[in-house]
Chain A
Amino acid sequence: MTLAYRVSDVSFEAEGNKIIRHVSLSVKPGERVAILGASGAGKTTLLRLLAAQIKPNTGEIFIYGENTRDLDSGEKLSRYVGVINQQYDLIQELSVRNNVMAGNLGRWGMWRSMLSLLSSGDSDIGTRALERVGLSDKTHQRLSRLSGGEQQRVAVARLIVQDPLLIIADEPVASLDPTRAFEVMSLLHNITSPNDKTLISALHSYDITTHFFQRVIGLRRGEVSFDIPVKELSKDDLEKLYSVDQDD
């Protein structure tokens, strides 16, 4: 079985700082992995490396057997990886529907993309996605008028339309209150779990980690501190992860 991810001895540095040091791990298709760590530990960088948005300085990353160095963003990559961030994923000026349909951009040509901006297309993949996230009543509203939680649900709907094999989430619920966070996280869970899609997410909430994920990786100063099933996660591990070192 091809591994969803094979990360082999990857390092990344920027502006003289070593952000990721010699990280190796592998992820099987359908796994749900949480990445925990303090700010500055390198979570975002690791996720961007996994999403092939940046390339490692040393080492290789393989997505379903393909080297990320050969995958430049575009149609092919978008079939493998879908990304959802904490905020600013979407176009504030466009309608909810147009934002959702943007998930198709990897498949469409220019002409089709232009036409889609004008069409109101009933009963297609966009409307179904909006139904799944519970936002059908806001289909034609301008995105800027939605609340933070609603906007994140639109981002999830876009991922439904894009239909990638893996979803990389960088603190997707960090700016939401606990109820909304749970809602959005459930949505992400529901679109990945049943379809055997992989979900890798950076988080800072212990509750969400234990509730939705099977495996947790701790990142500390660019290195993997621990890589264990969620059941074995202890508060001690967390303390060590988030503690401030004397020689920092």
Chain B
Amino acid sequence: MIWKSCIQSIRTIKGVSVVRFARMLVSGRPRVAIILATAFLVSIYIADWNRAIPRSSGFSGINEILRGFLQPDLSQEFLIVAMKATWTTITFGTSAIFLAIVIAIPLSFVASGTLFRSAVARVGSVTLVRFFLALIRSIHELIWAWLLAVLFGFSPITGVLALAIPYSAILARVFSDFLNDVPDAPLRALRSSGASNVQTLLYGRIPIVYKDMLSYGFYRFECCLRSAAVLSFIGLQGIGYQIEVSMQDLYFGQVWVLIYLLIFLIVSVDWWGSKLRRSLAN
């Protein structure tokens, strides 16, 4: 039985003609897959795997983590601390994404080039703004946080700004793409009835894209909360800060409770987002 399938396999393999394989290399998708696979294999080869071993204290560390997992710290005093930290994270994240959206919307109008009539002004402003947006969003929010902290010192407002700045750039870029992708046909009708550029924007594009914008904005809200949790590493309050504190004292029971709270937070927002998306789709 195995022998027969071996013979069959060999016959089939002979049928894998060189021409077919070459055809695969030329067409786009398999080529990309091959490029990525090669890059991955190269990276596996170069990485220093001899450091991928547990450290000397590693096993006891795993022990501690497991112990904390099985015995979460549900004491009232700690729960209060944890809830406070969660609330702080929520306030940071929400404030930041709110500000980011408020900034991103007008920014996206400019970045999409849908405001200007003359081609020169449009291309000029678009490339300039997009370039700046690309620069701003290429810097991770933690690094923004650090930069702002160095300049302005630690305070909640710096944390919120550190999140809001890159997120507004991301949102602006995506929103402007949405605005640009609106098909021309419905807009032509508006323009022929005399609407100016701004009016086309308000009456034409926005009603078409607002659902996508809401949906994406919510997805970023979820990301922003995660970032807010991590932001607290550099000294601002929040879940991440508490996790670091508890970890330093090896109270993994507390660490897991904080992780659970974070998961609950993210899952709730995600659930809210999907409900929203579903109701928008109807």
Contacts and interface: CB of A to CB of B under 8 A. Distances in A.
Direct contact of A and B (CB under 8 A): yes
B13 interface: yes
A118 B20 contact: yes
Of the candidates B9, B12, B16, the one having the most CB atoms from chain A within 10 angstroms of its own CB is B12
Contacts of A118: 16, 20
A115 B20 contact: no
A116 B20 contact: no
A38 to B, nearest CB: 31
B183 interface: no
Contacts of B16: 115, 118-120
> Do most interface residues of chain A lie in helix, strand or loop, or is the interface mixed?
loop
Interface string B2-25: 000100110011011101100100
Nearest to B9: A115
Contact of B12 (A116, A122, A140): A116
Interface string A195-236: 000000000000000000000000000000000000000000
Contacts of A122: 15
A121 B15 contact: yes
B9 A111 contact: yes
> Do most interface residues of chain B lie in helix, strand or loop, or is the interface mixed?
helix
Contacts of B13: 115, 119
A115 B13 CA distance: 7
A109 B9 CA distance: 11
Interface in A156-195: none
A119 B5 CA distance: 16
Contact of B5 (A112, A121, A140): A112
Contacts, number: 30
Contacts of A112: 5, 8-9, 12
A109 B12 CA distance: 13
Interface string A93-134: 000000000000000010110011011111000000000000
Contacts of A111: 5, 9
A120 B19 CA distance: 9
A96 to B, nearest CB: 14
B9 A119 contact: no
Contacts of A120: 15-17, 19-20
A119 B15 contact: yes
Interface string A70-99: 000000000000000000000000000000
Contacts of A116: 12
Contacts of B5: 109, 111-112
Contacts of B15: 119-122
Interface in B175-219: none
A230 B23 CA distance: 51
A109 B13 CA distance: 15
B6 to A, nearest CB: 10
B32 to A, nearest CB: 15
A118 B246 CA distance: 54
A109 to B, nearest CB: 6
Contacts of B17: 119-120
A121 B5 CA distance: 16
A121 B19 contact: no
A109 B17 CA distance: 22
Contacts of B9: 111-112, 115
Interface of B: 5, 8-9, 12-13, 15-17, 19-20, 23
**What are the nearest 10 A-B pairs in CB distance?**
A119-B15, A120-B20, A121-B15, A115-B12, A119-B16, A119-B12, A120-B17, A118-B16, A115-B9, A120-B15
Given A119-B16, A120-B17, A140-B20, 20 more contacts: A111-B5, A111-B9, A112-B5, A112-B9, A112-B12, A115-B9, A115-B12, A115-B13, A115-B16, A116-B12, A118-B16, A119-B13, A119-B17, A119-B20, A120-B16, A120-B19, A120-B20, A121-B15, A122-B15, A140-B23
26 contacts: A111-B5, A112-B5, A112-B8, A112-B9, A112-B12, A115-B9, A115-B12, A115-B13, A115-B16, A116-B12, A118-B16, A118-B20, A119-B12, A119-B13, A119-B16, A119-B17, A119-B20, A120-B15, A120-B16, A120-B17, A120-B19, A120-B20, A121-B12, A122-B15, A140-B20, A140-B23
